Structures are given as C-alpha cells and as structure tokens.
Structure 1
Amino acid sequence: RKRIEMDFQMLKILFNYGPFSKAFADNSELQLVVHITGPVPVENQADLETVLNAYKDLCSSVDEGTASRIFIAFSVGTEDHPALEENGLEPMTIEQIYRLATVILFPSETEGRGLPIVESSACGIPIICSRYFPEEVFSEVVGEGLSDEEQIKYLLFPEGNYSDEFLAEASELLLDPEKGEGRKAHNKQAVRLRYSTEMIKRKFELFIETLRNL
C-alpha cells in the first residue's frame, strides 16, 4: 500500500526529462539520496526486494557516472543495528530525518491517517503525495474546505502520465529548493493553525463547553 517503488519510477522519468537531467549532469557535486523511513523487517522481505529492484532499474536507466551519485538508505527498523555503535553513530529522531530531506515522496495507495503530510509540512519540507484512500481522510488532512491559510499545499503524485508541468515543478523542488520558501512557510503556518498545542487546547475547551450545554 505504500508503493515506495513508485518513487524510483518517478525519478527514472525525471532523469529522462531534459532540464533535470542536464542540471544533474552539469553539477558533479549533486547527489540523489532516497531515504526510506519505513520499517524493513523480515516479514516485509518481498516488498523490500520490490523496492531494491526499482532502485536497480533506476540506476540501470542512466549512465554509470550518474548512477554512481544515486543512493538508497534505510533508517526506521534499523535503530539497533550494531553498525551504529561500531561507527559511533546515534539513531536519528523522526524530526531530524525530515529536516535532512529536500522533498518528501509519499505515493501511498491507502493510509489510516497520512501523518507524513502533517509532519513534513510542520518541518517546512515540501511533499509530493498521492490522493490516497480513504479520500475523505486525505481531504481532511490537507484541509480541503478550510480557509486557504489552513490548507496544506502539496504536489500531486502522478498515477499515470507525467506532465511537463509536474516534471518542471518537481525538478525545481529538488534542484532549487530556495524557490519553495513561500510554500514551506505557508505549510508550517497551516499546521500551526490547525495542530498546535494552543489550537488543540482551544478545540478541547469548546468540546467540553458543548457537552456542558447539552
């Protein structure tokens, strides 16, 4: 249901998009790291293999020099791996992981809630996400129907064809993140307006007051 392999399918198409491909080729300092935060237990072995095959397919679709700058990393589910202690490393918090990101990719087909949308927005990281099922849950999370200042702005993850408009916007998010500062500030404020401790307290007080008046 997470459809993580779609991240690599999107990136494969992005590397075939002239402006992105050229910008990546022209700057040898650029690297692409796909950091997967989902757990990697043994029972998810088949899903893990699907993801790894998608990564291999991406690397096979580009030249060797480009492939050498594309990486895959895992974190959640590996917090107790002995390599951490052996290398003097500390496990990262979810907030630290988000703040490392340039863009969050979230192509889930179904979600119980969709917290990554709220979490990434709170950290000021733009998100490319699918309109997952149940659709009413997605609608509530992004704030559809609320005032514009309370709505989370996102880039819709394509389900089929990748338009030039999408590829251009995704390229800008990855290659020139400073241009997205307005969206980042907007989403941080939207989350603050809807999910801050003060706002939750106010809603709880209104709920209690409503119960008293029944």
Structure 2
Amino acid sequence: MPSSRTSRGLAALGAGLATAAYAILLVAGRIHERRLTERYWRASREHFIAPEELTDECRLLLARGQQATTTVMRSHVHRHGLIDKAHNEVALPGHEWELATILRDYSRLAEAEPRKPAGGEVVTLLQKRRDALRASLDGVERRVVALEAYADRVVEADRQWEEWRQIEELSEGADAVLDLLARTARDDMAVAEIEGMTGQAAVVAEALTSAVESAKKAAVIALPPPAATA
C-alpha cells in the first residue's frame, strides 16, 4: 500500500499534468478559433463591397438602385402582399448584389488604366477599352432606371392603397354618422321649443318691469311730503 507521502506526490503530479493538458487545449482552441475567424472573414469578404472600392459614378448608381429596392421593400403593398412579396424578397437583393459586383469590377478596371498612355497604339487600345467599359456601365444604368420605375409604380400603388384604406375607414363610420344625424334631427323642434320658452321669459320680464315701475310710483306717493323750509 503506498504511503501518504507517495499518494500526495501522485496527486500533485496528476494535477500538474491536468493543468498542462488544459493549457495545451486552450492554446490549440485559440489557434483554431483564430483560423475559423480568418476563414469566416475571407468568406464574408466575398459578400461585402466597401464604398471606397467604387468610383464616384458607380457609388451614385449603386445608391440609386439601393434606394429603389428599399422603397419597394418598405412599401405597404409589399408588406401586405398586394404585390409579389416572395419574389421581391429574392429578386431585389439579387439585383442589388449583381449591381454592386459589376460596379466594383468596373471600378477596378477603370482605375487600372494607365494615367499616361505611351504611344498612339496604347491610346487606341485604351479608347476601345473605355468604350467597352462604358457599354457595361450603360447596361447597369438601364437596370437601375428599371428598378426606379418599379419603385415609382409601387409608390403610386401605396398612395392608392392609402386612399382606399381611408375610404374604407370612412365607410365603416358611415353608420355612426347616420345615427348622429338621426339624433340631431329634432334640432328644429328643439329650437322652436326654446324660442317659445324665450318668448315666455320675455313676457314675464316685461310684466315684472311694469310691476317694478308701479311699485316705485306707489312708494313715492306713500312717502310724507318734505318739510317746508323757512
């Protein structure tokens, strides 16, 4: 049977090995986590385009496309499914991403042009290249214009929807309005009644006025004559 000193030594050795193993696992875990983070960043980087990657013209075109998409997605007719909501939620982000990637690639190619062409042949090739790039940018702009036209239609549909909704609300309150109108149909009779009461009050007021005048005259007659002065 091992002594108590031996037992304590074995226990300490076991604890030390366990601590060392934990430290190794911790370091390995951090390395694995860093590698996962790097892989995640590389994967997400493929789905992210920074504004500085685009030329000014391309940023403006992308902003217009994104604004049109946002207008549609935030509209009442989209949220209430009055237009093809499912298709919008798939197609519009797809169009937006395609626009962004084409504009990014265009910007890279445009920025890669030589600033000082060396020779006439380079100038000729550069012009052809620019013509091809412009054709691709014109295609992007046509798509942006189409998205804006769709957004304008959706805005008009939203306006019509809001008008319809208000008409429905007013129609639903029509019964209450008719009920209120019926309750106030006695206004003419009430006015006649009140005018009669007003006439009666005027007669009473006139009679009381006459009575007051008569009382004043009687009071004057009842008073003793004033004392004669020397």
Interval containing the TM-score (normalised by the shorter chain): under 0.3
Question: In proportion to residue count, which structure has more strand?
Answer: 1
Q: Which has the higher contact order (CA 8 A, sep 6+)?
A: 2
* TM superposition score normalised by structure 2: 0.26
* TM superposition score normalised by structure 1: 0.28
Question: In proportion to residue count, which structure has more helix?
Answer: 2
Larger Rg: 2
